[in-house]
Structure 1
Amino acid sequence: MILRRLELVDVRSYEQQELTFEPGVTLLVGPNAHGKTNLLEAAHRVATGSSHRVASDLPLVRRDAEAGYVRVELDTDAGRRRKIELELRPGAGTRARVDGQAVRQTSDAVGVLRVVLFAPEDLAIVAGDPSERRRFLDDVLAQRRPAYAAARSDYDRVLRQRNRLLKTAGGRGGDVAATLQVWTAQLVAHAATLTAARVAAVHALAGPTSAFYAELADLPEPVTLTYRSSCGLVVSGDPGCGVPDRDALAVQLRAGLEAVADEELARGVTLVGPHRDDLELSVRGLPARGYASHGQHWTLALALRLATYDVLAEVGDHPVVLLDDVFAELDQARRARLAAACQRWGQVLVTAAVEDDVPLRGAVVDVRVVDGRSTVATR
């Protein structure tokens, strides 16, 4: 897949800006805080349905503007030209058009453009809270299985309704039991779907993550991925471990909810489900979050993203790789190994404050702030 055109209107620091791209490497060069990351963020928002930096679209819309627009054109591996437009209107929802046609829900636009983004924020995947690792898996699945984004939305909707009922249940007991059973049944059904997809993703990611880690670190340190469900299920990404089917997961999830039923009523919140699961990352048999060095955190986070490329390419178009200020954080040896990996990919967009930090050659785009607005110019 090749990203051919990216247009931003009233997005972040851009009033109106259009860029065109060719296959291969493109360097986006400019001082910090001049708008380089905003370009990659916009592409990521189109591809995955979310920003990698913020939880809502409000910060994406330029100050004093009513709405922001992101438009992309891309060529698929088969040579088909696709067009996507997002209208970001905080408080009024997001609208999307694909190939000129409005889509019923914005999740229908997710996965048309496929990207793999690595940014400094990705350190949180390894060292941060479980929510960061859940989001990582969800972003991978949203592009690998486009229907996953809609399934996640359905789960979140049911979870909100169930939590609302638990909070208002108080001491009413039987008055809410029947209604709670209805929401629990829906929650279990959606939870089993999400959990099965996540476990399958962990199995797909485990092998290439370990291989990329060894390549980047130049050390044969074993890396393992393990999915830990809040219902008690623990599944290793090792190829020898089986993947539970959806029905078996539903049984285990329901049992987990029944075990904490009294506590849920007392606390007014759902305590079992994919929203409380974790992806455990280990190096040499030790949890990376607590035992790995800063350098190992960087290498593992990058290996996860590079593995994502392979996992996505297995089931569809090859994604566009977005590297946000990555080379500045790596030593010379790791820079060289990452640069070698970049040569295997069809299109790579790289941001850098210092051009010499990037041991790659390609088209160069200068990014600057002029009169308070970001502008770009291709050399």
Structure 2
Amino acid sequence: MILERLSILDYKNIIQADLSFSSKLNCFLGNNGMGKTNLLDAIYYLSFCKSHNNLIDSQNIKHDADFALIQGYYLENEGKVDEFFCSLRRRQKKQFKYNKKEYEKFSDHIGRLPLVMISPSDSELITGGSEERRKFMDVVLSQFDKEYLQSLIRYNKALQQRNALLKSDIQADESLYELWEEQLAAEGQIIYTRRQRFIQEFIPTFQYYYSFICQSNEEVSLAYESQLSEGSLLGLLKQKRERDKILGYTTVGVHRDDLDMRLGEYSIKKVGSQGQNKTYIVAMKLAQFDFLQKSQQITPILLLDDIFDKLDSSRVEQIVKLVSGENFGQIFITDTNREHLDEILKGINSDHHLYEVKGGEISRL
């Protein structure tokens, strides 16, 4: 999967850009706040129908513009070029088109353009709440498992309905609770099983990447935590129903799942240094890349946003060795440091493009 050309109009601080890319490595150099991350975010948007860091669509439109457009041309493995088009308008529903045909549901698009992004905001995986870690699992699984994505959508709708009943001032019929609880249990079991299987397969690859980058004997581990390991979700929902009515929300289910992220015997959140935390996250994301590549038989696009910050030179060198290898396809890298990019370019013999980003304007060097 190769992004050959990209056109952007009034997306965040990018007024207009028409870019052609290298099939291997594309480097974007510029100071903070110039628009490097916004460019990567536009590519992310074309894969996920949403921004990586701003879920309110209207806020992705340049502040003095009425609409924003993103258009990408992707080369498929068979040599076919597909066009993907997105338009965002204030106070209107966004449009998303594949070869000029509009999608009926945005979920139909997810997985068509596999992508992995590593960015500074990923630190939330460690420091943030459980929602961030569930999102990590959901983003991976939804890109290749349509049944999982549909179960997740149905589960969240049923959860919304049960929570509305719990908050209602009017006494709801018990049969309504049973209806939504049965759906939560059915979809929740699918989600639980897929997440459990995914983490089991994911852990060895994640540990390999961590060891390769840090070049030490530090041990890292991941454990999937779910209330469904205690028993049937349907039974748990019935058991907690009266308590949930008092609280006004559903206290059990896969929407409470978490990942226990450990360095040695301790939570990395408590003992990890900045370098260890960054290495942990980069290893998780590279393992995500590996998992998607094997699951879909398509090499995802890799976006690396300022990933060398807070890493010592030896870890930077190891990451450069990895991304320079044959396992990775098209890569987009941003950095404020020209030396980092030059180091990467030295290790890559294939085609590459270097760009400067300044005040939302992008020019090839």
Compute the TM-score of the two structures, normalised by the length of structure 2: 0.92
Of 297, 302, 305, 1:324 maps to 305
User: Are the counterparts in 2 of residues 328 and 357 from structure 1 also a CA contact under 8 Å?
Assistant: no
Superposition pairs for residues 7-156 of structure 1, below 5 Å?
A: 7-89=7-89, 91-156=91-156
User: Are the counterparts in 2 of residues 283 and 292 from structure 1 also a CA contact under 8 Å?
Assistant: yes
- Determine if the alignment matches structure 1 residue 311 to structure 2 residue 284: no
Report the AA paired with residue 194 of structure 2: A
Report the AA paired with residue 335 of structure 1: V
Of 344, 349, 359, 1:360 maps to 344
Which structure 1 residue ranges, 5 or more long, are not aligned?
234-250
Worse overlay, 106-115 or 34-43 = 106-115
- Per-residue CA deviation, residues 28-60 of structure 1 (Å, 9 max, x unaligned), is 111110100001111112213332212322321
Counterpart of 1:195 in structure 2 is 192
- Per-residue CA deviation, residues 51-96 of structure 1 (Å, 9 max, x unaligned), is 2212322321111333322211112233332221122235433321
CA distance in 1, matches of 2:39, 2:146: 23
CA distance in 1, matches of 2:92, 2:154: 19
User: Are the counterparts in 1 of residues 192 and 228 from structure 2 also a CA contact under 8 Å?
Assistant: no
CA distance in 2, matches of 1:154, 1:91: 26
Q: Which 4+ residue blocks in structure 1 deviate beyond 4 angstroms? A: none
- Determine if the alignment matches structure 1 residue 177 to structure 2 residue 163: no
User: Are the counterparts in 1 of residues 27 and 334 from structure 2 also a CA contact under 8 Å?
Assistant: yes
- Per-residue CA deviation, residues 82-140 of structure 1 (Å, 9 max, x unaligned), is 22112223543332111221111111112211111100111111222111111111111
Counterpart of 2:274 in structure 1 is 294
User: Are the counterparts in 1 of residues 275 and 312 from structure 2 also a CA contact under 8 Å?
Assistant: no
Which structure 2 residue ranges, 5 or more long, are not aligned?
346-351
1:293 shift after superposition:
2.2
CA distance in 1, matches of 2:149, 2:70: 20
Counterpart of 2:330 in structure 1 is 347
Worse overlay, 337-346 or 8-17 = 8-17
The 1:356–1:290 alpha-carbon spacing in structure 2 relative to 1, beyond 3 Å, is same
Of 209, 233, 241, 1:261 maps to 241
User: Are the counterparts in 1 of residues 185 and 232 from structure 2 also a CA contact under 8 Å?
Assistant: no
CA distance in 2, matches of 1:198, 1:114: 19
CA distance in 2, matches of 1:281, 1:107: 29
- Per-residue CA deviation, residues 161-198 of structure 1 (Å, 9 max, x unaligned), is 1111110056x3xx421111111112222222222222
CA distance in 2, matches of 1:364, 1:281: 36
User: Are the counterparts in 2 of residues 225 and 281 from structure 1 also a CA contact under 8 Å?
Assistant: yes
User: Are the counterparts in 1 of residues 49 and 96 from structure 2 also a CA contact under 8 Å?
Assistant: no
Counterpart of 2:6 in structure 1 is 6
CA distance in 2, matches of 1:110, 1:349: 20
1:147 shift after superposition:
4.7
CA distance in 1, matches of 2:79, 2:200: 31
What percent of counterpart residues are identical?
A: 27
Report the AA paired with residue 255 of structure 1: G
The 3-state SS of whatever aligns with 1:144 is coil
Compute the TM-score of the two structures, normalised by the length of structure 1: 0.89
The 3-state SS of whatever aligns with 1:365 is strand
Counterpart of 2:166 in structure 1 is 166
The 1:176–1:90 alpha-carbon spacing in structure 2 relative to 1, beyond 3 Å, is farther
Report the AA paired with residue 354 of structure 2: V
CA distance in 2, matches of 1:200, 1:100: 37
- Per-residue CA deviation, residues 231-281 of structure 1 (Å, 9 max, x unaligned), is 445xxxxxxxxxxxxxxxxx6211221221111111111111222110111
Superposition pairs for residues 190-269 of structure 1, below 5 Å?
A: 190-233=187-230, 252-269=232-249
User: Are the counterparts in 2 of residues 84 and 109 from structure 1 also a CA contact under 8 Å?
Assistant: no
The 3-state SS of whatever aligns with 1:326 is coil
Counterpart of 1:243 in structure 2 is none
